[in-house]
Amino acid sequence: MNTLTYLFQTAVKNFWSEKRINLLTVLTIAVGLLIISAFALITLNIDLTLKNWSGGFGLVVYLKDNISAEEEGLIKNHFKKDTDITSVNYITKEQALKELRQTLGSATHLLEGFESNPLPASFELKLKRESLTPAGIKEKAERLKQFQGVEDVQYGEKWLASMDSLSKGLKVLTVSLGSIILIALAFVTYSTIKILFYRRADEIDTMKLLGASRSFIRLPFLMEGLFIGLSSGIIALSALFGIYAVTTAKTAELIPSIKSFAVFFPPAAYPVLPLGGALMSLIGSLFAIGRIKY
């Protein structure tokens, strides 16, 4: 058995011998991690839902009645070159009028006063999801307006901006809240390890007098901090999965479609919670032990 194995066994023994305070710390940290991860999961779901809704979002380029074939050709050529555009649909004046009549239904008499078709021909453009940023769409719209033969370009500017700020706001809130909770969790481990360090002060003094190095004394405490963080993360992840499964199952009884859009974290993200907990606990433990003096 090498020294590292011995120190690991010492850490496990110490963790078990102080099980009450360690269990309390693990549960406290697990609750903190659960809050952070629940917030992150809600944000992820809202973000995905917003992105799904925005899938049908695009630009409408209205053309002048007197647009020449050459001008129209130039515009179509521009669409082909723009890799952000996923589909282009040309709506003739007649199709536009037909669609309007269908939309108006029994109120088509409103159009009777017009001698000719007042609606312009247009191109409906669909864009890639990642290109649906307020700034990006605005820039595209401004560029299209410069083309000869383009009457106007319209897009849901306000709606897109609201959606974008809601998504960004949620992310900022999650990160800020998460950071505050993580610091608090590091402090919880700091306090526990500090207490355990003081409780074992005599043992530590004896080890120092026998010639133990700093790392020999420190490592079991750091490992103990690591166990606390890791087990807290595993408990928090399991609890989050349980809550998610129960909540979606219960909600599905009222809103069956929830199952089609509610998501849990991908498996690749599962280690983040235990490892994040372990890292914060390790930092807390490092500060708690401080500098060992001889």
Cβ distance to other proteins smaller for residue 211 or 267: 211
Which pair of structure tokens corresponds to residue 190? Answer: 């700091």
Rounded least distance, CB 26 to other proteins, Å: 21
First to last CA, the chain: 27
Cβ distance to other proteins smaller for residue 142 or 203: 203
Rounded least distance, CB 37 to other proteins, Å: 37
Cβ pair 209, 248 in contact under 8 A: no
Which residues are near other proteins by CB under 8 A?
A: 1-3, 6, 13, 17, 202-203, 205-214, 216, 293-294
Beta-carbon neighbour count of residue 82 at 10 Å?
16
In angstroms, the CA 87 to CA 58 distance is 10
- 157-199 helix and 134-145 helix, angle to the nearest 10 degrees: 160
Angstrom distances, CA of residue 203 to CA of 126, 200, 212: 70, 5, 11
Cβ distance to other proteins smaller for residue 17 or 68: 17
Can you name the residues that pair with 161 across neighbouring β-strands? none
Cβ distance to other proteins smaller for residue 21 or 111: 21
Rounded least distance, CB 219 to other proteins, Å: 12
Rounded least distance, CB 193 to other proteins, Å: 18
In angstroms, the CA 204 to CA 62 distance is 80
Rounded least distance, CB 195 to other proteins, Å: 17
Contacts of 274 (CB under 8 A, 6+ apart): 229, 230, 232, 233, 234, 237
Cβ distance to other proteins smaller for residue 147 or 216: 216
Cβ distance to other proteins smaller for residue 96 or 212: 212
Sheet containing 122-127, strands listed edge to edge, beginning at the edge strand earlier in sequence:
85-91, 122-127, 58-63, 150-154
Cβ distance to other proteins smaller for residue 169 or 290: 290
Can you name the residues that pair with 59 across neighbouring β-strands? 125
Q: What is residue 133's DSSP assignment?
A: -
Rounded least distance, CB 15 to other proteins, Å: 13
Rounded least distance, CB 218 to other proteins, Å: 13
